[in-house]
């Protein structure tokens, strides 16, 4: 808050210095204009208290015109803000607000609200924030100050409503919502215990600003989402690996083991090797266990390569679409994406799948690894529906695909 106010004070000071010269050209008397000009030069030199003294010299002149008083108040507001004299700054700004044009009132009201907030007078700060908004000032600074004041009062419901309205307005206008609005919305929802709302806001943050921190926060809570199936535990870890948020020794070990259990030893071997390359596997008292896991993955991968064609043929002969999808993704894991895609597409065309959206998810993930390009993959992934987790996983692969 202090940094923001200092920045505003600097901007107002420089603006005021320019206005002094303009006012002089319009006929300020020398006894008023000269000390104000000196005040502007002192402000530029960073000497705010000395500048305020010069402003008071001009203020002491009798018989001031309306134009002279307006110029004095502008310079006094700037100098007082820079000097940390908040009562004087507020008095000058409130005087300016009453005599300024409609286009300027919103900006001055924001300055007054920030000064009152620095004084911890949140009631007056809120009053002036509302005046700023009523005057048409809906900028990011006003929204930030409004959220600060609402948070200080514990009114997280109001923060959530205002932030949600800002996010919705941006989306309806075809714009990306402001990151600050999404962060305020997520925080307010979490503080109110609205975990569904918090999750939705966090997802919007990730979709619009795919930073590592947001990946980590979202993926940490995704398995706890209502209706999310434990079948997608490996998928969550795949997303962690792809987003750079998988880093612990036990995470690499668990992911490699899950891949082996899913009948994907080639994937398990690659995960283990990445762990060794990252230096999180192959060291410490468990180094021998890490090596045994990698050796097991290598052995099972060799067996899978020999048996994959037979596995696929048996699934096709039985007309078992789910087994065809599993065999197709095993092909993909072994580096034969085109063969895997063809088999999964056959299974989807055949129909009668237990989990058709999971099949489409696997197809989209396979297409991402194919030489055919990512456009088909993103189209497939965007079409994944359902509430068991498949659609969530698909949306996140779209984010990664686009980035």
What residues have CB less than 8 Å from 135, skipping those under 6 apart? 102, 105, 106, 109
Nearest to 206 by CA among 219, 193, 188: 219
Domain-located, residue 358: yes
Q: Give 343 or 18, the one with higher predicted confidence.
A: 343
Range 373-377, long-range pairs (CB < 8 A, 24+ positions) = 374/401, 377/401
* Arithmetic mean of pLDDT, 358-386: 92
In this model, does residue 274 exceed pLDDT 90?
A: yes
Total number of domains in the chain: 2
Mean pLDDT, the chain, whole residue set: 89
- How far from the centroid of its chain's Cα atoms is residue 375's Cα? 25
The pLDDT tens digits of the residues spanning 179-205 come to 988 998 998 999 899 998 999 999 999
Domain-located, residue 88: yes
The pLDDT tens digits of the residues spanning 68-120 come to 988 999 999 999 989 889 999 999 999 888 888 777 888 999 999 999 888 88
Q: How far apart are CA 181 and CA 202, in angstroms?
A: 11
**pLDDT above 70: percentage of residues in the chain:** 93
Q: How far apart are CA 172 and CA 167, in angstroms?
A: 9
The domain boundary residue, chosen from 99, 123, 144: 99
Q: How far apart are CA 109 and CA 101, in angstroms?
A: 12
Is the full-model pTM beyond 0.75? Answer: no
Q: Give 354 or 13, the one with higher predicted confidence.
A: 354
Domain-located, residue 142: no
* Arithmetic mean of pLDDT, 130-147: 84
Q: How far apart are CA 122 and CA 398, in angstroms?
A: 44
In this model, does residue 7 exceed pLDDT 50?
A: no
With contact defined as beta carbons under 8 Å apart, do 257 and 268 qualify?
yes
DSSP label of 222? G
With contact defined as beta carbons under 8 Å apart, do 370 and 329 qualify?
no
In this model, does residue 2 exceed pLDDT 80?
A: no
The domain boundary residue, chosen from 99, 134, 166: 99
Domain-located, residue 120: no
Q: How many CB atoms lie within 10 A of CB 272?
A: 27
Nearest to 355 by CA among 222, 229, 221, 224: 229
DSSP string, 11-32: HHHHHHHHHHHHHHHTT--HHH
Domain-located, residue 384: yes
Does one domain contain both 87 and 232?
no
Alpha helices in 334-373 (DSSP H): 337-350, 356-368
Does one domain contain both 246 and 381?
yes
The domain boundary residue, chosen from 41, 71, 99: 99
Of the pLDDT bands very low, low, confident and very high (cuts 50, 70, 90), residue 26 is low
Does residue 373 sit in helix, strand or coil? Answer: coil
Of the pLDDT bands very low, low, confident and very high (cuts 50, 70, 90), residue 20 is very low
Q: How far apart are CA 403 and CA 401, in angstroms?
A: 5
Q: In b/e form, how buried is each residue of 179-196, taking b as 16+ CB within 10 angstroms? A: eebbbbbbbbbbeeebee
In this model, does residue 12 exceed pLDDT 70?
A: no
Which residue carries 């690996």 as its tokens?
Answer: 241
What residues have CB less than 8 Å from 148, skipping those under 6 apart? 1, 117
Range 194-200, long-range pairs (CB < 8 A, 24+ positions) = 194/160, 196/226, 197/160, 199/225
Domain-located, residue 201: no
Domain-located, residue 349: yes
Domain-located, residue 125: no
Joined together, the tokens standing for residue 182 give: 């999404």
Domain residues for the domain of 75 are 1-99
Of the pLDDT bands very low, low, confident and very high (cuts 50, 70, 90), residue 125 is confident
DSSP label of 284? S
Q: How far apart are CA 340 and CA 362, in angstroms?
A: 10
Does one domain contain both 231 and 92?
no
Determine phi and psi for 334, rounding to 5 degrees: -80, 5
């Amino acid at each position: 808050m202090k940094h923001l106010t200092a920045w505003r004070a600097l901007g107002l000071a420089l603006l005021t210095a320019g206005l002094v010269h303009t006012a002089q050209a319009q006929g300020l008397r020398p006894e008023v204009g000269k000390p104000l000009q000196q005040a502007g030069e002192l402000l530029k030199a960073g000497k705010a208290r000395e500048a305020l003294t010069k402003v008071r010299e001009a203020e002491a002149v009798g018989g001031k015109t309306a134009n002279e008083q307006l110029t004095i108040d502008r310079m006094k507001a700037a100098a007082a803000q820079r000097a940390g004299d908040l009562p004087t700054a507020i008095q000058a700004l409130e005087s300016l607000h009453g005599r300024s044009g409609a286009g300027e009132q919103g900006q001055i009201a924001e300055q007054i609200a920030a000064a009152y907030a620095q004084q911890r007078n949140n009631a007056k700060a809120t009053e002036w924030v509302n005046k700023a908004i009523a005057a048409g000032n809906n900028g990011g600074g006003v929204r930030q100050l409004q959220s600060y004041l609402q948070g200080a009062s514990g009114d997280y419901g109001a923060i959530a409503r205002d932030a949600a309205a800002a996010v919705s307005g941006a989306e309806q206008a075809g714009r990306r919502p402001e990151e600050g609005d999404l962060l305020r919305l997520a925080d307010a929802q979490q503080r109110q215990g609205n975990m569904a709302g918090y999750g939705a806001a966090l997802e919007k943050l990730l979709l619009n600003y795919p930073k590592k921190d947001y990946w980590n926060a979202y993926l940490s809570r995704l398995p706890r989402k209502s209706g999310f199936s434990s079948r997608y535990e490996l998928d969550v870890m795949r997303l962690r690996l792809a987003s750079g948020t998988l880093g612990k020794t036990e995470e690499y070990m668990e992911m490699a083991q899950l891949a082996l259990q899913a009948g994907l030893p080639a994937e398990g071997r690659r995960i283990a090797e990445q762990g060794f390359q990252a230096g999180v596997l192959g060291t410490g008292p468990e180094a021998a266990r890490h090596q045994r896991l990698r050796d097991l993955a290598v052995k099972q991968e060799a067996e899978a390569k020999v048996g994959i064609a037979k596995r696929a043929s048996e699934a096709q002969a039985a007309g078992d679409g789910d087994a065809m999808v599993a065999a197709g993704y095993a092909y993909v894991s072994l580096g034969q994406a085109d063969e895997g895609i063809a088999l999964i597409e056959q299974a989807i065309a055949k129909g009668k799948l237990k989990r058709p959206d999971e099949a489409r998810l696997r197809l989209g993930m396979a297409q991402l690894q194919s030489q055919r390009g990512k456009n088909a993959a993103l189209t497939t992934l965007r079409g994944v529906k359902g509430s068991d987790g498949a659609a969530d996983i698909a949306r996140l692969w779209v984010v990664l695909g686009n980035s």
